[in-house]
């Protein structure tokens, strides 16, 4: 509980600075923040419960699946069961699981024999790098094209833009990646077919360039599939704003068209898009599962895919919790930041 207390005071401290709302406003803001925190906490607890029961109803014996193809004695299998705590009754397992969660102990991977938390920490950064870049570029491209589309609504460029975006949106991510590999990696040999860097590369500049080279195709795949939703949401929210009287006023003041768009229309239309960006940042961790699998990118997505095929239950379970927690956290951040961005929500 002490951990959740800190952000409350930190966020509340900055609240009265805006507009000097005084006491009543502050109490309201505090209540809002506390409410959001409590909801998020409840969601998180629900995710943890789900994770436990979901992966305990798995038919089949994990120890048998793990040792498949190897000759192991009955004693060895009993030993493995004891090691992973699978010999205990279910309620006992549940208590152990909850106690472990409190210490950030999510068990030991069947496959790698190391704590899953270490595995996740190891693989987190490649995923953040890949999906972060992909999400950022997709958002920028989508917002830019969406703005242009809405401003020249009904024009040829609007129709082409929307059409291309919708088509790419309908394409399965993994297939688009495969086609890119066939065309540009194994076909034209312009880019590597997978991985994150060429083994044996040294020197900071060389490594950076090498990683960037490896990133081109996976990032292109992510952007192609993701940018459509930014385009669509920006287009429709800007179209909503375009009927606004304040735009007529701005034009009547003699502002140039580009200035009316940039200074007046876009800032207001940006709000729904900002919400979407926050939601997608939460999905950054899980969103790359397909892209990473196709391009053998050494991140969380590949880890998840590999864990599925074993099946490495503690790892799958931990990643499930991690992916969901990321979304819940980002939702919370979006809820807390939104009132700062949009005064209309504040009251």
Partner 1 sequence: MSTTEPAATPEPRPAPRSPGPVDGPEGATASPRRLARQRRRRALARFWRDYRANRAGLFGLAGLALFVLVALAAPWLVQPADLSVTRAPGLPYQPPSLDYPLGTDNFGRSVLDLVIWGSRVSLLVGFLATLVSVTLGALIGIIAGHFGGATGTVLMRVTDWFLVLPTLVLAIALATVLSRSVFTIILAIGVTAWPTTARLVRAQTLAVEARPYIERARALGGGHLHIMMRHVLPNVMPLVLAQTTLLVASSIIMESTLAFLGLGDPTTVSWGGVLQDARNAGAVSSGVWWYLLPPGLAIALVALSFTLCGRALEGVLNPRLRDRS
* Residue among 266 and 290 whose Cβ is closer to partner 1: 290
Residue from 137, 283, 337, 341 in contact with partner 1 (CB under 8 A): 283
Size, binding site for partner 1 by CB under 8 A: 48
Is residue 179 close enough to count as binding partner 1 by CB under 8 A?
yes
Name 140's Cβ contacts closer than 8 Å, sequence gap at least 6.
none
**Rounded distance, CA 15 to CA 13, Å?**
6
Is residue 268 close enough to count as binding partner 1 by CB under 8 A?
no
Residue from 236, 272, 339, 346 in contact with partner 1 (CB under 8 A): 236
Contact letters for partner 1, residues 115-154 (x by CB under 8 A): --------------------------------------x-
β-bridge partners, 224: none
* Footprint (CB under 8 A) of partner 1, residues 308-347: 308-309, 311, 316, 319-320, 323-324, 327-328, 331
Burial of residue 99 (CB within 10 Å: 0-12, 13-18, 19+) is: exposed
206-220 burial, b if ≥16 CB within 10 A, otherwise e? eeeebbeebbebbbb
Is 225:173 a contact under the CB 8 Å cutoff? Answer: yes
Q: How far is the CB of 125 from partner 1 (least distance, A)?
A: 20
**Rounded distance, CA 148 to CA 156, Å?**
12
* Footprint (CB under 8 A) of partner 1, residues 48-87: 54-55, 57-59
* Footprint (CB under 8 A) of partner 1, residues 15-54: 43, 46-47, 54
**Rounded distance, CA 100 to CA 106, Å?**
6
**Rounded distance, CA 69 to CA 135, Å?**
41
**Rounded distance, CA 271 to CA 273, Å?**
5
Stretch that binds partner 1, among 26-34, 129-137, 180-188, 270-278 (CB under 8 A): 180-188
Is residue 212 close enough to count as binding partner 1 by CB under 8 A?
no
**Rounded distance, CA 65 to CA 1, Å?**
40
Is residue 174 close enough to count as binding partner 1 by CB under 8 A?
yes
Reported in sequence order, the residue ranges of 207-330 that DSSP labels E, i.e. its strands, are none
Q: How far is the CB of 190 from partner 1 (least distance, A)?
A: 14
Residue from 12, 129, 164, 239 in contact with partner 1 (CB under 8 A): 239
Tokens encoding 301: 């997505």
**Rounded distance, CA 146 to CA 281, Å?**
20
* Residue among 43 and 67 whose Cβ is closer to partner 1: 43
Is residue 178 close enough to count as binding partner 1 by CB under 8 A?
yes
Name 56's Cβ contacts closer than 8 Å, sequence gap at least 6.
90, 93
* Residue among 119 and 327 whose Cβ is closer to partner 1: 327
Q: Which of 38, 17, 18, 16 is nearest to 27 (CA)?
A: 16
Residue from 193, 244, 251, 271 in contact with partner 1 (CB under 8 A): 193
- Contact residues for partner 1, defined by CB under 8 A: 43, 46-47, 54-55, 57-59, 153, 163, 166-167, 169-176, 178-179, 181-182, 186-187, 193, 236, 239, 283, 286-287, 289-290, 293, 304-305, 308-309, 311, 316, 319-320, 323-324, 327-328, 331
């Amino acid at each position: 509980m002490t951990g959740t207390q800190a952000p409350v005071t930190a966020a509340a401290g900055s609240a009265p600075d805006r507009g000097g709302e005084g006491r009543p406003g502050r109490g309201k803001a505090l209540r809002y923040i506390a409410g959001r925190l409590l909801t998020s906490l409840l969601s998180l607890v629900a995710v943890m419960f789900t994770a436990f029961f979901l992966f305990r109803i798995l038919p089949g014996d994990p120890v048998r699946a793990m040792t498949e193809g190897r000759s192991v004695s009955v004693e060895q299998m009993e030993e493995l069961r004891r090691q992973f705590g699978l010999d205990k009754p279910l309620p006992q397992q549940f208590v152990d699981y909850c106690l472990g969660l409190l210490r950030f102990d999510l068990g030991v991977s069947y496959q790698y024999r190391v704590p899953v938390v270490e595995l996740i920490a190891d693989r987190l950064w490649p995923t953040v790098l890949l999906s972060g870049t992909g999400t950022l570029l997709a958002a920028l491209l989508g917002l830019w094209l969406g703005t242009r589309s809405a401003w020249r609504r009904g024009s040829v460029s609007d129709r082409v833009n929307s059409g291309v975006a919708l088509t790419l949106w309908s394409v399965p991510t993994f297939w688009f990646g495969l086609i890119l590999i066939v065309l540009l990696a194994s076909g034209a040999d312009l880019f590597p077919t997978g991985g994150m860097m060429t083994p044996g590369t040294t020197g900071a500049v060389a490594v950076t360039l090498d990683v960037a080279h490896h990133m081109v195709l996976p990032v292109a795949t992510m952007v192609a599939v993701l940018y459509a939703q930014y385009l669509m949401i920006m287009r429709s929210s800007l179209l909503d704003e375009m009927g606004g009287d304040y735009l007529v006023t701005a034009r009547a003041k003699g502002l140039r068209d580009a200035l009316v768009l940039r200074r007046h229309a876009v800032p207001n239309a940006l709000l729904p898009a900002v919400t979407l960006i926050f939601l997608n940042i939460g999905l950054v961790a899980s969103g790359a599962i397909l892209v990473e699998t196709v391009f053998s990118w050494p991140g969380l997505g590949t880890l998840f895919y590999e864990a599925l095929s074993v099946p490495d239950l503690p790892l799958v379970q931990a990643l499930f919790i991690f992916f969901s927690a990321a979304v819940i956290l980002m939702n919370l951040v979006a809820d807390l930041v939104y009132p700062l961005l949009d005064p209309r929500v504040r009251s």
